[in-house]
Structure 1
Amino acid sequence: MTLTKYNSYDIVVVGTGAAGVSAALEAAQRGAKVLLLEKGRTTGGSTNYTEGLFAVDSYLQKEQGIKVSGTDVLNEEVEYSKYKADSRIWRKYVDDSPTTVKWLKDQGVKYEGVQAMGAGEATWHVYEGMGNAVIHDALLPQAQKSGVELIKSTAATKLNKDSNGKITAIQIENQATKETQTISTKAVILATGGYLNNPDMMRELTSYDTSRLIPVSSGKGTGDGLQMAWNIGAQKYNTGMAMLFGGYLKDPDEPSFKYIASHMETAAGQQPLLWVNEMGERFVNEEVIYNFSYAGNALYTQNKVYSILDQSVIDRMINKGNFMGLGVYVRRGEKLTKLQGELDAAVKANKPYIFKADSLSELASKMNLPEDKFEQTIAQYNNFCTTGTDSDFGKDAEYLVKVANGPFYGFELNVGAFCTMGGLRVSTKNEVLDNDGQVIAGLYAAGNDASGLTGDTYGPNMPGTCVGYAFYSGRNSAKNAVEYSDQK
């Protein structure tokens, strides 16, 4: 008995997120015989939770009269990365981005429109139904109509090369039965989603305190593709970066993704209000939350961080709207109508991240903070609010909101992370390179397995660049893999 219909395929794609499904569909549309592997029981990976993709000069932007310079975007992103990003990869990605938007539309993807995030450019192409609809209502059905064979609950475990270093086969294993099979193939495209969910790799490859990092993802990004490639001599490159998104509540009783659309999470972790550390001291201009990658870095500068809200600002966000949203899950300026109910339920359940008190001294005691220092911090902060001038860190007066009317709430903030990026050095064709910078013939990497897009932080001024690159690099990998396999 075999796990697949055939023992040989032109191309094998590993992973069913944006990169993998796009690669499989593109390859099949170009006439290749394609096997698509998914190690889990469900498809889509972390793409299911995405909101939209980056693009410049798309048909949607033209319809809305939006003009953005692709070269300016390239330069901004490369400078933001401190030139750790690959300008050649960014050039090709930017130039192809309108084609990717149109290609997705042609497969059945529907868009809400184009928008900016914060002070960034309007390059975010938000699709209807989140990434879940993109994968399951459009791309996967099209892939299977095009002849792609999809196998779930089956992991790729090993890559095989010949004496000339060319990929010849891939070994796979059924997750339930442990049955194995070796598949002959001309090319393999790795799209396994990085390594955020592999604690050992996170400790080894990053500087993050993993006890405070909260992965908000599919849970399947365990570095499988990276390790297979490294085992055959692929270059380990540009690891160490996770896409952070600032303060996040850690609930041991619930899956982390549950809170991403929570009004309480938005109020507690995503507002430019008041943060204090374990000593009860303020330590940063909280407007940093508008750059969620920077916000994550800022939180890591302290051993513990708490956001402090009083009833007045809670009422303000319920009745007038928040200051800062969380993507399209909770929009900026949205009224947090569920906030009080969520707060009350969390307090009643004694959730470990929330503290409520009628006085500031009581709140400090519950959070185990030095009461005198905490109250001194609040008094000084309230004075800044009165004068409209933050003499410590220069926060805009718009966000200087007093902490004065009880009950008072404190929230312990951890750091949310959506994915890692990087691990395999790739060419502009998404070919995987070895330690000498030479192409491993027949091996390609896309999405979060491929390096070249970021430095040590993700650039949030252009939201959707991660998933946009996944769609693009999947298609780019497939195009070049088909050309390679046709030559063999």
Structure 2
Amino acid sequence: MDTDNKILETGPREPVDRALFKGAVNDPENVKSKVRYDWEIPPAPISEEQIAEEMEADVVVIGGGIAGLAAGARCTELGMSVIVVDKHKSLVAHGAHIACLDSPVMRELGIKIDKQEFARRWMHTSGSRVNEDLLWLYINKSEEAVLWLLGLGGDEVELKLYGGYYKGTQFTEYPATHYFQKKKGSRYKTYGAFLFCEILQEVILNGGNQIIRNTKAEQLEMKDGRVTSFIAKSEDGKYIRFKGKKAVVLATGDIGGDPEMLAKYCPIGLRPKKNGYFPAGLNTGDGHKMAFWLGAAMEDPSWAVSLHLISYAMYSFFFLHVNRLGKRFMNEDTWSQAKAIRILMQPQWGDGDWAFSVFDSKWFEEVGERVHLAGGQFTQPLITEYGQPWDENNGVREAIDAYIKKGACHVADTLEELAEKMEVPVDTFVETVKRYNELVKQGVDLDYGKRSELLTSIEKPPYYALKFGPAILNVFGGVLTDIDMRVLDKNHNPIPGLYAVGNVAGGLYGVDYPLLLNGNSHSRALVWARQAAAHISGEEQGG
């Protein structure tokens, strides 16, 4: 009997309620309630005497990127008056891709994605830190949103399927990334994501609505428990109140340009030395802060970060990667986000945040022979149409030559000379290459497990060392919303009158930006904007 009691004593115990720690040093609320950063302290209200002008519309949108312009365009289509206010002087965009899980182009090519499997992979990549209602909203509405934008462009643009997706075995990217191509004689002036924004902007302006730039929103305002307006400062320092009869929509982008917000919500975002956002430093979490001061619920950290290998060179390929100590440090057969993270984990000194891709004179042919096995961004050109063959006209040779001229790619006739140019320990580097060539000869990567098909020797001079590294692009996390994009308070109740779309809204990402589907953030912005507009329109009709 005593033995039985001892066994029971070692079994699972009833968890202790944390309320028992209330007031003690280990009370979790002690940490939650501490003000740690300057931005967390709400500013003093802007006095009525300071307001120089008032403007009013059914819907007022803070932010003129793809999400804000999409919200404005859709509300315009639904017959509402709209004012979009943005702090920048012109269009704000970056990138070229837009994703959807199905499209006429995909159906024509016989490409079909298992949506259930896609959802499982998304959840896995995001560490299960995802609101599945929002995930399935995106899955089910992404095609509709992209085709809506395409339709707004009319006969001026056409939809193309991107072919440069990573084709790994354990981790793969889906062939569902698209881009818009302008037709000959198109009236549109821009390309890529700027083209998306140009199309949306045209809908707003042609619909008789307004876009006001060089005007920065500073505070949200509530009346009788509802968000009714916001106050912004114009280019000449004048305060303007923008009143939304039906809604105020936050579309202010992410936090990647605010070091304090990164420290709180995404510390790894402080590691890269380069910022790939355009315009650099504009994404300072303005909407996050205004919602936070109002009592909105924020997504738990650590937020997902998008790190693109666009520093120094736009290519890395699948060749031998060595760090600044001249040592191999990873399986090169992986997606770009993983490469970025692994580089940031390496020993560095000074201002370094790069690695080298090492190859020999056979490189162009070796990539071409294996692009169907690997591929992916930073192996193929950014605009590579699905099915487009690897050939001498793709511009990659010219790109490498340009990197050589600007010092981002070193070339030498011996490994020793190459190591000196790379400024890595010569003996270590030569030994690293020797070991790698041994693995190539064996046909098995015993050190890091790279697929044998991607093992290529480094033996025919000249030898190359291409410098590449990560830049922070975006941070994905923000205020919590319901499925209609209404911002939630700390009790998860909607804050009347306030919506959030695009990167200011949380719930869809976690841990890592899921490059399962390149360009997903652009189409997510469209889906969220359309969803918010539909709900606002319903409210207008008493729904």
TM > 0.5 fold call: yes
Change (3 A) 1:96 1:318: closer
Residue 382 of structure 2 is matched in structure 1 by: 329
Aligned mates of 2:515, 2:289 — CA distance in 1: 28
Q: Which of 379, 402, 407 lines up with 2:457 in the alignment? A: 402
DSSP 3-state at the match of 1:476: helix
Instruction: Provide the C-alpha distance between the structure 2 equivalents of 1:124 and 1:344, rounded to a whole number of angstroms.
Output: 28
Equivalent position of 2:177 in the other structure: 124
Report whether the alignment pairs 1:298 with 2:342.
Answer: yes
Deviation string 1:279-314 (CA, Å, 9 cap, x unpaired) is 2221111011xx222222222221345224344144
Q: Which residue of 2 aligns with 1:146?
A: 207
Aligned to 1:261: none
| Conserved? CA contact 1:226–1:449, under 8 Å | yes
Is the CA contact (8 Å cut-off) linking 2:138 and 2:527 kept in structure 1?
yes
For residue 255 of structure 2, the aligned residue among 185, 195, 211 is 195
Give the letter aligned to residue 390 of structure 2: G
2:333 matched to which residue of 1? 287
Of stretches 438-447 and 209-218 in structure 1, the one that deviates more from structure 2 is 209-218
2:159 alignment partner in structure 1: 112
C-alpha distance after superposition, 1:138-177 (max 9, x if no partner): 222122122221111112111011242x102111111x31
* C-alpha contact (below 8 Å) 2:414/2:462 kept by paired residues: yes
| Counterpart residue number, 1:235 | 297
What is the rounded CA distance, in whole Å, between the counterparts of 1:101 and 1:123 in structure 2?
12
Q: Identity rate of aligned residues, in percent?
A: 23
Secondary structure at the counterpart of residue 7 of structure 1: strand
Instruction: Indicate if the aligned counterparts of 2:414 and 2:463 stay in contact, CA closer than 8 A.
Output: yes
Change beyond 3 A, Cα 1:321–1:72: closer
Runs of at least 5 residues in structure 2 that lack an aligned partner in the other structure? 1-49, 168-172, 182-190, 349-353
Q: Report the counterpart of residue 43 of structure 1 in structure 2.
A: 91
Whether the 8 Å contact between 1:320 and 1:335 is mirrored in structure 2 is no
Partners of 1:248 and 1:28 in 2: how far apart?
37
Name the CA shift for 1:365/1:204 in 2 (closer, same or farther; >3 Å): farther
Indicate yes or no: 2:148 matched with 1:103.
yes
Partner of 2:28: none
Name the CA distance, whole Å, in 2 between partners of 1:424 and 1:381. 47
Residue 271 of structure 2 contacts residue 344 of structure 2 at CA under 8 Å; is this kept in 1?
Answer: no
Q: 1:87, 1:429 → 2: CA distance? A: 14
SS at match of 2:299: strand
One-letter amino acid of the counterpart of residue 336, structure 2: F
Q: Is the 8 A contact 2:277 2:474 kept in 1?
A: yes
Aligned 8 A contact 1:306 1:410 in 2: no
The alignment status of 1:449 with 2:504, answered yes or no, reads: yes
- Answer whether contact 1:390 1:397 (CA < 8 A) is retained: yes
- Over 3 Å counting, the alpha-carbon distance change for 1:205 and 1:333 in structure 2 is farther
Counterparts of 1:66-465 in structure 2, within 5 Å, are 66-108=111-153, 110-115=157-162, 117-119=165-167, 120-128=173-181, 129-136=191-198, 138-164=199-225, 166-174=226-234, 176-186=235-245, 187-208=247-268, 210-219=270-279, 220-239=282-301, 240-245=303-308, 247-250=309-312, 265-266=314-315, 269=316, 271-288=317-334, 291-304=335-348, 305-316=354-365, 324-326=375-377, 329=382, 331=384, 333=390, 335=392, 338=395, 342-343=399-400, 345-349=402-406, 351=407, 353-465=408-520
- SS of the aligned residue for 1:181 comes to strand
2:74 counterpart of 1:17: no
Please state whether the residue corresponding to 2:292 is helix, strand or coil.
helix
- Does the aligned pair in 2 maintain the 1:55–1:468 contact within 8 Å? no
Given that 2:357 and 2:468 are in contact with CA atoms closer than 8 Å, whether structure 1 keeps it comes out as: no
**Aligned partners of 1:303, 1:412: CA distance in 2, in Å?**
16
Equivalents in 2 of 1:224, 1:334: separation in Å? 45
**Of 443-452 and 458-467, the range deviating more from structure 2:** 458-467
For residue 81 of structure 1, report the CA deviation from its aligned partner.
1.6
The equivalent residue for 2:34 is none
Which residue number corresponds to residue 18 of structure 2?
A: none
Deviation at 1:242, TM superposition (A): 1.3
Structure 1, residues 403-453: CA drift from partner, whole Å, max 9, x if none?
223333334432133311111111111111122212111111111111111
Mapped partners of 2:531, 2:92: distance in 1 = 19
Per-residue CA deviations over 1:88-112 (Å, capped at 9, x if unaligned) read: 1112222222321332232126333
Aligned residue for 2:496, secondary structure, equals: strand
CA distance in 2, matches of 1:321, 1:333: 10
CA distance in structure 1 between the aligned counterparts of 2:495 and 2:423, rounded to whole angstroms: 55
CA RMSD of aligned residues (A): 2.9
Give yes or no for contact 2:227–2:248 (8 Å, CA) kept in 1. Answer: yes
Count residues with an aligned counterpart.
460
Q: CA 1:325/1:87 → structure 2, altered by over 3 Å: closer, same or farther? A: closer
- How far residue 392 of structure 1 moved from its aligned partner, in angstroms, is 0.7
Verify: 1:482 aligned to 2:537, yes or no. yes
Question: Which structure: larger Rg?
Answer: 2
Q: State the 1:184 CA deviation.
A: 1.9
Deviations 1:112-138, CA, capped at 9 Å, x for gaps: 3345623333322332242222221x2
- Separation in 2, partners of 1:229, 1:104: 29
Q: Which residue of 2 aligns with 1:257?
A: none
Which segments of 5 or more consecutive residues in structure 1 lack a partner in the other structure? 251-263
Deviation, structure 1 residue 79: 2.9
1:26 maps to amino acid: R
Q: CA, structure 1 residues 98+209, in 2 after alignment: closer, same or farther (shift >3 Å)?
A: closer
Task: Give the equivalent residue in structure 1 for 2:41.
Answer: none
